[in-house]
Amino acid sequence: MSRTGVFVCHCGTNISATVDVVKVAEEMKNQPGVVYTEDYKFMCSAPGQGKLKEIIEENKLDSVVIAACSPHMHEKTFRNASEAAGLNAFKVEMANIREQCSWVHPDKAEGTVKSLDLTKKMIEKVRNNEELEKITMPVTKRALIVGGGIAGIQAALDIAASGTEVVIVEKSSSLGGHMIQLSETFPTLDCSQCIMTPKMVEASLNPNIKIYTYAEVEALDGFVGNFRLRIRKKAKSVIEDECTGCGICIEKCPKKVPNPFEMGLGMTKSISVPFPQAVPNVPVIDRDSCIYYKTGKCRVCEKVCGPKCIDFEQKDEIIYEDVGAIVVATGYDTMPLDKFGEYGYGKFKDVIDGLTFERMASAAGYTAGEIQRPSDGKVPETVVFIQCVGSRDESKGVSYCSKICCMYSAKHTMLYRHKVHHGKAHVFYMDIRAGGKNYEEFVRRAIEEDGAQYHRGRVSRVYEREGKLIVKGADTISGKPLTIEADMVVLATAMTARKGADKLAQTLGISYDKYQFYSESHPKLRPVETNTAGIFLAGACQGPKDVPESVAQGSAAASKVLGLLSQETLQREPITAEVNEANCIACFDCLNICPYGAITSKEIKDRDGNLIKEVAEVNPGVCMGCGLCNAACRSKTIELRGFLDSQIFAEINSLAA
Amino acid sequence: MSEESKKTEKEWKPRIIAYVCNWCTYGGADLAGTSRKTYDASVRVIKLPCTGRIDPLFLIKAFERGADSILVSGCHPGDCHYNTGNFHARRRWTAFRDLLEFSGIDMRRLHFSWISAAEAVKWVDVVNDVSEKTKELGPYDEFQRINERIEEYDGIFAQQG
Amino acid sequence: MNIPYYPGCTLNTNAKDLQQCAEYSAQALGFSMVELTDWNCCGASLPLTDNSSMGYAGPANVLINAKEEGTKEGNEDKLTTLCAVCYNVLKRTNYAFNNDNNKLDTVNSLLETDYKGDTNVLHYLEVLRDEIGYDKVKEKVTTQLKGLKVAPYYGCFLLRPHNEVGLDDPYSPTIFEGLLETLGCEVVDFSHKGECCGSYSAMTNPENVANCSFGVVESAVAAGADIIATTCPLCQFNLDGNQVKQKSHFGDLDEMPIIYFTQLLSIALGKDINSISFDSNSISPLPLLKEKGFV
């Protein structure tokens, strides 16, 4: 007979307000196998855990049920405490009577009944639990970062500082992300390239950092501490190691194409680097526009290349990297504006988005920092900035706030006014969100020192009349409609997840929300971890945020990585499958169904070496504990430890009439 | 379940067993709690690592032991924490559904859903929906009656010696 | 081809000019508009109020009647209408029925028969473009309206809310323009083609209507149009009437005649202009049409 101890937590009043915890503890005394019950205010506290250990030792408990919060919250806490008292961690179960009971059922009678059922269920389960020993695994002391923007670079530098090798995989042909496109950053008006390029160069020179650009992660195998990634290095048509970055090929290339880095308004060549300070400074041939790939002619770049490193036949390269931890820092995109015909984007050349204005204002941009109307090149005398285009908009956009637009719109008014002293800047806003350090002061400066005019209201239409853009909006503070004749309109578009974010998440096995932002483990307390062990997040791929936050998250993810990799071995949960070789009929349904290839066939031989039979065998290092094999097994000989049929049937039976 | 939870016909409260996966639906249900949403209290959750772990016998056993409805919920196709677990669950279900129906199980009492760890609202909606539908259908006492019949027959056979 | 037709409250009365020419054009194009034997008011503004199940009951009834009519032998299983507001209301009712089960059940409980959300509602313009085809229309055109610069005015009800009504793209529509080009008109793009004329605040706030109508007319004038073609009886009333009644708002602006699109259509299809009634017009289009040589 088992000796089970039951602890019912009040959790202050979080549970006891809507569940009669005293009653639950009392009733459990009557359950078979239960030798001790107690209700307690805060089981997870130091005294609570101390009490747990004490009771286990005193009463020689062989199993414990803690009716409290979700196991996702404190299963580890209580398992560790029990282990310290000499009880096997896997003889400890939690009944979730908080997140899935007390917090969601306001009727105390109902909540108590449900808590009784749930606690009883776990008591029945735990009586069937086996003692399991943790599995130790080696750790590959290397890390990989997907994304070479500010968050990814920061994480790489911090990890490399410890001497650990880091690989950065960047999709575009240079590091930099979106930050390198910005002109000046709030709230200091630091030149973005000036603060970012040193970091990019530092990363490229660091001997511990290996950088793949124009490359993407295609597949992931393995598990925490032992990942293997398949990376596709797309063909640049340039031999990277031999290129000196002289730029003659770019100069001589005859084919001009719109420059995506300049938001389509400036031109570049078919062979190009996205911007002059690109890291690595190795050009890439865009095979979709290059004359040679289309017609077989030209090849001018090849002719003028000194080091002879143009290679038209170059193919994509597949590379495998083994790492122990991964940081995802893939950044953001901005919302496409085709649903916002009311602002005339796409119809009127002088209606542009925020990133385009950044390129215009940037000294290294296609206008060398001059603010000019895209339609006729004239300097705009009046510019209207519209905030919340797509954000906070449940009908046509996204429901969330993109966090940075209030700040960068204020910044834009300042940049504009600094360059066009007589210009008029108008901002249409719903609210001003300036919560960071020096942020509020920054917005006040835009209004009070730089004369930006702020109007609280939305814009219903932008239309063209005699070369001017007529902006029809509302001023809710005066209660009147407000029409402004503008020369240029800048739309603060919503920040969205990268296109293809879902595919990457599925490749890596991490979760994402309905907007395809990657899901953190806990919104408050674990912002840079995912629910997939060994994979961390940093930056805007997790949700809209600004540069300081992205940098902070990059460092935070790095610290998590270093914590993981600093261990000599990793302990893995022993929730793995095991085969009863006596009963196995070798149908290998399990082998075929296993998503990880953890099952192989094993030959059983007699003493003379004759084959008796084949059976299935599970590699506990690879097994991830999903239980598919257990469900598929015809003879029920392969079982998932920790979730045996007997344990589950015990739970079902306990819920019987 | 305790005696209180299934009384006479008048005070009958539905008994619904939910087999959920640890990573997605269980997380979504926790999030509903963290967000203090409220929903029907009829569901009792059995946590599994993955819906792919579900043996069809679990479903039959649950009905046999008095469940009025069963809910199976896991990650959205493509998002399974174990890559393909939910695909197998779905396939198994497709193959098994007709057999269950043939053996006379009331398929209106068997529900499937995909709920991610971020979809607290969907968990609430699905639980309320299943509870509502179960209340309309009433207690599932076919199995109870079968058990009574079996006892009856046992008695008859015993008499016949 | 017989298409069931829902006139709504104004088409047989205040807007009979719109209807007359539509019927003539239909005949000329080889289809006939079969008025529903039983119908009621669409409710106009009722479904625009928040969550009014009652407001959906009226139009649902119309749609049920239309379905019955549509399944009769010899009739197309569709419903067409000329009034922009009716079109908007019927489409939004369909959307609510197909996307909100709760609304479906609540509204059906108020009706004698259940509506399933399956009546296919087409605006007259859609009938012309999709059922007849603009090519066929072109074949039947006897008088090309050459040299007539027309500003196609949609008003707001036909285009918004886009996902519920969805006649065409709300900011770059083409269905009306396509028809006018087929008739040989020179189509003028103007900024206010989808802006509101003031609608029924004509009752409560005539100043506002005058302002809105002025905006529409002024933008058509600025774009160089000779005439504005309308699709809605209320727009016609507002744009036309206000130019005379609220002349102060229009200042020095040249008077712009406003004409129903069906009137233009029927002229192109050979209707004798003298048989077209312009009695409701404050500004008669006749002088312009004469000048362009269509009389």
Whether residues C171 and C275 share a domain: the answer is yes
Q: Which of C125, C143, C176 is the last residue of a domain?
A: C125
Whether residues C246 and C285 share a domain: the answer is yes
Is there a contact between A94 and A67 (Cβ–Cβ < 8 Å)? yes
Whether residues C111 and C160 share a domain: the answer is no
Contacts of C195 in chain A (CB under 8 A): 461
Is there a contact between B122 and B115 (Cβ–Cβ < 8 Å)? yes
Q: Please report the pLDDT score of residue A336 as a whole number.
A: 93
By percentage, how much of chain C surpasses pLDDT 70? Answer: 97
Q: How many contiguous H segments (helices) and E segments (strands) does chain C have?
A: 15, 8
Cβ burial C124-154 (10 Å sphere, 16+ → b, else e): bbbbbbebbebeebeeebeeebeebbbbbbb
Rounded to 10 degrees, the C-alpha dihedral C100/C101/C105/C108 comes to 60
> What confidence tier does C51 reach under pLDDT thresholds 50, 70, 90?
low
Q: How many contiguous H segments (helices) and E segments (strands) does chain A have?
A: 17, 34
The CB density around residue B148, as the number of other CB atoms within 10 Å, is 11
How far is A233 from A320, CA to CA, in rounded Å? 11
Average pLDDT over residues C214-234: 95
Domain CATH number, residue C156: 3.40.50.11810
A396: closest chain C residue by CA? C163
Mutate which: A347, A461, A485, vs C, most C CBs within 10 A? A461
- The token duo for A433 is 């969100």
Average pLDDT over residues A188-217: 96
Q: Which of C92, C125, C158 is the last residue of a domain?
A: C125
pLDDT above 50 for C261? yes
> What confidence tier does C49 reach under pLDDT thresholds 50, 70, 90?
low
How far is A399 from A394, CA to CA, in rounded Å? 5
Highest mean pLDDT among A64-68, A509-513, B142-146, C245-249: A64-68
How far is A366 from A216, CA to CA, in rounded Å? 29
pLDDT above 60 for A559? yes
Residue from A360, A358, A405 nearest A379 by CA: A360
In this complex, which of B53, B66, B144 lies closest to A643 when CB atoms are compared? Answer: B53
pLDDT above 90 for A184? yes
Whether residues C251 and C142 share a domain: the answer is yes
Enumerate residues 6+ apart whose C-beta is below 8 A from A418: A450
A532: closest chain B residue by CA? B81
Segment (H or E) for C50 = none
How far is A211 from A233, CA to CA, in rounded Å? 11
> What confidence tier does C46 reach under pLDDT thresholds 50, 70, 90?
low
User: Is A656 within 8 Å of B36 when comparing Cβ atoms?
Assistant: no
Neighbours of chain A (3+ CB pairs under 8 A): B, C
Return the minimum-mean-pLDDT range out of A622-631, A638-647, C36-45, C77-86.
C36-45
Average pLDDT over residues A436-464: 96
Q: Please report the pLDDT score of residue A545 as a whole number.
A: 97
How far is A342 from chain C, CA to nearest CA, in Å? Answer: 6
> What confidence tier does A156 reach under pLDDT thresholds 50, 70, 90?
very high
Whether residues C103 and C217 share a domain: the answer is no
Contacts of A337 in chain C (CB under 8 A): none
Q: Does A463 touch chain C (CB under 8 A)?
A: yes
> What confidence tier does A553 reach under pLDDT thresholds 50, 70, 90?
very high
Average pLDDT over residues A12-23: 95
How far is C184 from C265, CA to CA, in rounded Å? 10
- The token duo for C159 is 């285009």
Q: Please report the pLDDT score of residue A202 as a whole number.
A: 97
Q: Which of C106, C125, C144 is the last residue of a domain?
A: C125
Whether residues C262 and C159 share a domain: the answer is yes
Phi, then psi, of A545 in degrees rounded to 5: -160, 170
> What confidence tier does A622 reach under pLDDT thresholds 50, 70, 90?
confident
Q: Domain of C239?
A: 133-291
Whether residues C121 and C143 share a domain: the answer is no
**DSSP 8-state assignment for residue B159:** H
Is there a contact between A213 and A148 (Cβ–Cβ < 8 Å)? yes
DSSP symbols for C191-241: TTTTS---TTHHHH-HHHHHHHHHHHHHHHHHTT-SEEEES-HHHHHHHHH
Domain CATH number, residue C104: 1.20.1050.140
> pLDDT tens-digit profile of A317-338?
999 999 999 999 999 999 999 8
Q: Please report the pLDDT score of residue A565 as a whole number.
A: 97
Rounded to 10 degrees, the C-alpha dihedral A297/A303/A304/A308 comes to 120
**DSSP 8-state assignment for residue A518:** B
How far is A99 from chain B, CA to nearest CA, in Å? Answer: 4
pLDDT above 90 for A504? yes
B84: closest chain A residue by CA? A595
- The token duo for A304 is 């003028």
Cis peptide upstream of residue A280 (ω within 30 degrees of 0): yes
Contacts of A104 in chain B (CB under 8 A): 32-33, 36-39, 41
Residue from A163, A192, A161 nearest A178 by CA: A192
Whether residues C144 and C78 share a domain: the answer is no
> What confidence tier does B1 reach under pLDDT thresholds 50, 70, 90?
very low
pLDDT above 50 for A203? yes
B30: closest chain A residue by CA? A99
pLDDT above 80 for C48? no
pLDDT above 80 for A167? yes
Contacts of A114 in chain B (CB under 8 A): 5, 41, 44
Contacts of A463 in chain C (CB under 8 A): 191-192, 219
Enumerate residues 6+ apart whose C-beta is below 8 A from A57: A85, A86
Q: Please report the pLDDT score of residue B9 as a whole number.
A: 47
Whether residues C195 and C178 share a domain: the answer is yes
Phi, then psi, of A518 in degrees rounded to 5: -75, 140
Could you list the beta-strand ranges (E) of A294-418. 317-323, 325-328, 332-334, 351-353, 382-389
> pLDDT tens-digit profile of A466-487?
999 999 999 999 999 999 999 9
Mean pLDDT across chain A: 95
Say if pTM beats, i.e. exceeds, 0.90.
Answer: no
> What confidence tier does B93 reach under pLDDT thresholds 50, 70, 90?
confident
pLDDT above 70 for A610? yes
Average pLDDT over residues C119-126: 95
> pLDDT tens-digit profile of C149-193?
999 999 989 998 888 998 999 888 999 999 999 999 999 999 999
Contacts of B92 in chain A (CB under 8 A): 631
Residue from A252, A276, A274 nearest A264 by CA: A274
Mutate which: C163, C169, C171, C172, vs A, most A CBs within 10 A? C171
Whether residues C121 and C141 share a domain: the answer is no
Cβ burial A60-95 (10 Å sphere, 16+ → b, else e): ebbbbbbbbbbbbbbbebbbebbbebebbbbbbbbb
pLDDT above 50 for A657? yes
User: Is A463 within 8 Å of C171 when comparing Cβ atoms?
Assistant: no
Whether residues C157 and C235 share a domain: the answer is yes
SS3 C149: strand
> pLDDT tens-digit profile of A233-252?
999 999 999 999 999 999 99
pLDDT above 70 for A80? yes
Whether residues C89 and C54 share a domain: the answer is yes
Domain count, chain C: 2
Chains C and B touch (3+ CB pairs under 8 A): no
User: Is B46 within 8 Å of A513 when comparing Cβ atoms?
Assistant: no
How far is A579 from A636, CA to CA, in rounded Å? 9
Return the minimum-mean-pLDDT range out of A419-423, A590-594, B14-18, C197-201.
C197-201
Cβ burial A391-414 (10 Å sphere, 16+ → b, else e): bbbeeebbebbbbbbbbbbbbbbb
For B5-84, where are the alpha helices, taking DSSP H only? 25-34, 56-64
Is there a contact between A156 and A209 (Cβ–Cβ < 8 Å)? yes
Residue from B77, B74, B67, B141 nearest B110 by CA: B67
How many beta-carbon pairs under 8 angstroms link A with B? Answer: 162
User: Is A341 within 8 Å of C222 when comparing Cβ atoms?
Assistant: no
> What confidence tier does C204 reach under pLDDT thresholds 50, 70, 90?
confident
Mutate which: A117, A118, A591, A628, vs B, most B CBs within 10 A? A628
pLDDT above 90 for A575? yes
pLDDT above 80 for B10? no
Average pLDDT over residues A169-190: 96
Mean pLDDT across chain C: 91
> What confidence tier does C47 reach under pLDDT thresholds 50, 70, 90?
low
